[in-house]
């Protein structure tokens, strides 16, 4: 959509991604407050909403806070919205499980983006379960148009039943574009907060009387689901198998089996059981196609409706036509067709790596040189330190887990790890999201852990969004900036054990790590360099390799910078008879930002600044 959401656009169709369509619908529905924590594939929703001056938008420090901000706005009668990826709702679930009891006032919509296929996530989670767990309705759009329409319908449904509504998206919906016909914008004025301690103060005495209201809402929602326009039974001439599907899986079914009857679930919870029974009466067998868990399949069977599902379909990844066709052929006893694009699976693998001059490169190069350390990692760009050439990350579990895992390694160590140091690696935004509590736990319980706090002044992995450590708000305006050194001291780390270093200075970094890991108390090393992809970064003249001086030692390759390319490999036999592999290199000067990381381990001093007339790198021209 470009720089901002379009104006009043009911007359023209637009070409939007699912994320853009959701943002447009939130704006058009008269929403007043929108909050989120960035996380692929949901990030772009709030980025689009931030261009709307009529809305209050914020990047919250984590998903729980974003949902609580949205609830507060709903309490005063405003329409409110929050967005997160699937693992984010785990963080926000504490608030969710209570607001389902209190209910809401202004419409409150929660967009949750599931990363089906795990293109950028540590697990593959099915957020439809939260609808059942929290007793709230769930919408599942199948394309960008439905993402727009269902978002607006979700606000209305939220206000009709005074409860939050989940909009379950997937990566394919979030990022695939389609034509969208917007509706007319509407205004929504908050009615104001009505003080009612019996509703809003959730002590046991107030919560217990509200539980019957929650269960009564379930029944009303179930009855509405049976007649909802979002749940549609499509007729078909081939009645050997009828399908039950929702979201992108519905599109895959229609593409693979255009003549089959299909029950399309748009309002997938509560499940319209009578519609499912109607489908079952029309066909020989029912196949539930759902990404990823057998949730609807289990509910249909519990209701006495015979169906097949995950006994023939995979429980992981997208259920594309090339997955569906062989499964259904096997179910019908027909020859199993071969995948038409099987050859595409042989494409040369391209493992992810860090950017040229990334400030994390030197950190992992240094960690890789150390011995007898266990390294507990976290979620962010720096997770890539687990890969080649560093192999310098031993664990990665969830946001902020590096701190607790490191403390557990320290407290649980036996004779085998008696001489092993424990290092926790965490980024600035992740530290503010969920790492502060872990550091407090380390200091409170006298853990022997060295923390590497990587401050690159951005939420790097999701696109460089701001956080409380950048000094800017979501609009780029000036905001208070967290002083990480003082914060760590306030959390119990002695001032003498807090160091702030330049991660481009490898000798200083190596010395600090070697010293701090030998001291039996909590310590923090803060590395201070901006992400190379944000405006704060300043490139310097690039480097080149003098071919005649390069000995092929390969030390510069171990830094891991993608601007360094191997031009020739060779084998050298030392006087001792030992064979040594040599790798001669060149630097892609047009990409180099002049960070100097590769210069420091180069023993023959074969890396020098390029000629002044050489073109500077194409990504960073701020020299």
Tell me the per-residue pLDDT of 414-432, one tens digit each, with 9 for 90 and over. Answer: 888 888 999 999 999 999 9
How far apart are alpha carbons 170 and 63 in whole angstroms? 18
pLDDT at 578: 86
How far apart are alpha carbons 406 and 425 in whole angstroms? 9
What is the model's pTM?
0.89
How far apart are alpha carbons 75 and 106 in whole angstroms? 7
pLDDT at 348: 63
Which CATH superfamily does the domain covering 360-528 fall into? Thiamin diphosphate (ThDP)-binding fold, Pyr/PP domains (3.40.50.970)
Instruction: Give me the sheet containing 498-501, strands edge to edge.
Output: 373-376, 421-427, 450-455, 523-528, 498-501
Contact by Cβ (8 Å): 37, 82: no
pLDDT at 2: 43
User: What are the DSSP calls for 135-157, one per residue?
Assistant: T--EE--SSHHHHHHHHHHHHHH
pLDDT at 575: 82
Ordered by start, the domain boundaries in the chain are 14-227, 235-338, 360-528, 543-609
Give the whole-number percent of the chain exceeding pLDDT 70: 95
CATH topology of domain 235-338: Rossmann fold (3.40.50)
The answer, yes or no, to whether residue 242 has pLDDT greater than 60, is yes
364-399: string of b/e by CB count within 10 Å (b at 16+)? Answer: bbbbbeeeeebbbbbbbbbbbbbbeebebbbbbebb
* Cβ within 8 Å of residue 555, ≥6 positions away: 601, 602, 603
Average pLDDT over residues 331-358: 73
As given in the structure block, the two tokens for residue 56 are: 């209050």
How far apart are alpha carbons 242 and 264 in whole angstroms? 11
* Cβ within 8 Å of residue 104, ≥6 positions away: 71, 74, 75, 158, 159, 162, 163, 164
pLDDT at 620: 46
Backbone angles phi, psi at 173, to 5 degrees: -75, -45
Q: Taking the CA of residue 607 as centre, how many other CA atoms within 13 Å lie in the half-sphere pointing to its CB?
A: 28
Q: What sign has the CA pseudo-torsion 90, 140, 215, 297?
A: negative
As given in the structure block, the two tokens for residue 422 are: 């424990």
Give the whole-number percent of the chain exceeding pLDDT 90: 81
pLDDT at 118: 82
pLDDT at 618: 44
How far apart are alpha carbons 311 and 532 in whole angstroms? 48
Task: Say which range, 18-22, 357-361, 464-468, has the weakest mean pLDDT.
Answer: 464-468
Average pLDDT over residues 303-324: 93
The answer, yes or no, to whether residue 125 has pLDDT greater than 70, is yes
The answer, yes or no, to whether residue 508 has pLDDT greater than 90, is yes
Q: What sign has the CA pseudo-torsion 127, 129, 130, 135?
A: positive
The answer, yes or no, to whether residue 337 has pLDDT greater than 90, is no
Q: Residue 350 class from Cβ within 10 Å (0-12 exposed, 13-18 middle, 19+ buried)?
A: exposed
- Domains 14-227 and 235-338 fall in the same CATH topology: yes
- In 10 A of CB 242, how many CB atoms? 27
The answer, yes or no, to whether residue 572 has pLDDT greater than 90, is no
How far apart are alpha carbons 363 and 509 in whole angstroms? 7
CATH class (in words) of the domain with range 14-227: alpha beta
The answer, yes or no, to whether residue 342 has pLDDT greater than 60, is no
CATH number of 543-609: 3.30.70
Roughly what angle, to the nearest 10 degrees, separates helices 436-444 and 401-412?
A: 20
The answer, yes or no, to whether residue 621 has pLDDT greater than 50, is no
Helices within 398-483 (DSSP H only): 401-412, 428-430, 436-444
pLDDT at 603: 87
Q: Report the mean per-residue pLDDT for the chain.
A: 91
The answer, yes or no, to whether residue 199 has pLDDT greater than 80, is yes
Average pLDDT over residues 544-552: 92
535 vs 260, which has greater pLDDT?
Answer: 260
Average pLDDT over residues 353-371: 93
């Amino acid at each position: 959509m470009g720089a901002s959401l379009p104006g009043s656009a009911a007359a023209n169709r637009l070409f939007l991604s699912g994320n853009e369509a959701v943002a447009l619908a939130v704006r058009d529905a008269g929403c007043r407050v929108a909050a989120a924590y960035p996380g692929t594939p949901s990030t772009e929703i709030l980025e689009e909403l931030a261009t709307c001056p009529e809305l209050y938008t914020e990047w919250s420090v984590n998903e729980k806070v974003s949902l609580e901000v949205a609830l507060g706005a709903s309490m005063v009668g405003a329409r409110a919205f929050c967005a997160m990826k699937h693992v984010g709702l785990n963080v926000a679930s504490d608030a969710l499980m209570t607001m389902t009891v209190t209910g809401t006032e202004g419409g409150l919509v929660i967009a949750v983006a599931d990363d089906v296929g795990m293109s950028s996530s540590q697990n593959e989670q099915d957020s439809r379960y939260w609808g059942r767990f929290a007793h709230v309705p769930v919408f599942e759009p199948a394309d960008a148009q439905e993402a727009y329409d269902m978002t607006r319908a979700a606000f209305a449904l939220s206000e009709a039943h005074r409860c939050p509504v989940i909009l379950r998206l997937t990566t394919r919906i979030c990022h695939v574009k389609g034509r969208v016909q917007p509706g007319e914008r509407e205004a929504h004025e908050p009615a104001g907060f009505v003080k009612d301690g019996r509703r809003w103060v959730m002590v046991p005495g107030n919560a217990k009387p509200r539980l019957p209201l929650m269960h009564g809402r379930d029944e009303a929602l179930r009855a509405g689901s049976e007649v909802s326009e979002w749940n549609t039974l499509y007729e078909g001439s081939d009645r050997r198998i009828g399908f039950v599907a929702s979201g992108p899986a519905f599109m895959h079914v229609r593409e693979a089996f255009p003549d089959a009857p299909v029950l399309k679930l748009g309002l997938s919870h509560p499940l319209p059981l009578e519609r499912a029974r109607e489908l079952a009466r029309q066909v020989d067998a029912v196949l539930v196609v759902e990404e990823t868990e057998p949730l609807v399949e289990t509910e249909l069977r519990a209701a006495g409706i015979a169906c097949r599902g995950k006994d023939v379909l995979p429980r992981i990844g997208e259920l594309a036509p090339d997955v569906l066709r062989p499964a259904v052929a096997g179910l019908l006893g027909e020859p199993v067709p071969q995948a038409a694009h099987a050859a595409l699976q042989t494409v040369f693998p391209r493992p992810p790596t860090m950017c040229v001059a990334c400030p994390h490169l030197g950190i992992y190069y240094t960690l890789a040189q150390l011995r007898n350390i266990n390294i507990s990692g976290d979620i962010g760009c720096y997770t890539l330190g687990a890969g080649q050439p560093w192999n310098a990350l031993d664990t990665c579990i969830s946001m902020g887990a590096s701190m607790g895992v490191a403390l557990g390694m320290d407290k649980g160590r036996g004779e085998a790890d008696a001489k092993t140091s424990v290092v926790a690696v965490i980024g600035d935004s992740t530290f503010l999201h969920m790492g502060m509590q872990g550091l407090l736990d380390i200091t409170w319980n006298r853990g022997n852990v060295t923390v590497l706090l990587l401050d690159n002044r951005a939420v790097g992995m999701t696109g460089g969004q701001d956080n409380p450590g950048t000094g800017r708000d979501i609009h780029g305006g000036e905001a208070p900036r967290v002083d990480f050194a003082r914060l760590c001291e306030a959390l119990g780390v002695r001032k003498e054990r807090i160091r702030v270093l330049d991660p481009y200075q490898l000798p200083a970094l190596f010395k600090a790590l070697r010293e701090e890991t030998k001291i039996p108390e909590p310590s923090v090393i803060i590395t201070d360099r901006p992400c190379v992809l944000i405006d704060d970064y300043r490139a310097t003249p690039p480097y080149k390799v003098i071919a005649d001086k390069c000995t092929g030692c390969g030390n510069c390759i171990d830094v891991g910078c993608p601007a360094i390319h191997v031009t020739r490999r060779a084998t050298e036999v030392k006087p001792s008879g030992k064979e040594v592999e040599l790798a001669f290199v060149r630097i892609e000067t047009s990409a180099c930002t002049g960070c100097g990381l590769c210069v420091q381990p180069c023993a023959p001093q074969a890396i020098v600044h390029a000629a002044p007339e050489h073109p500077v790198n194409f990504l960073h021209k701020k020299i």
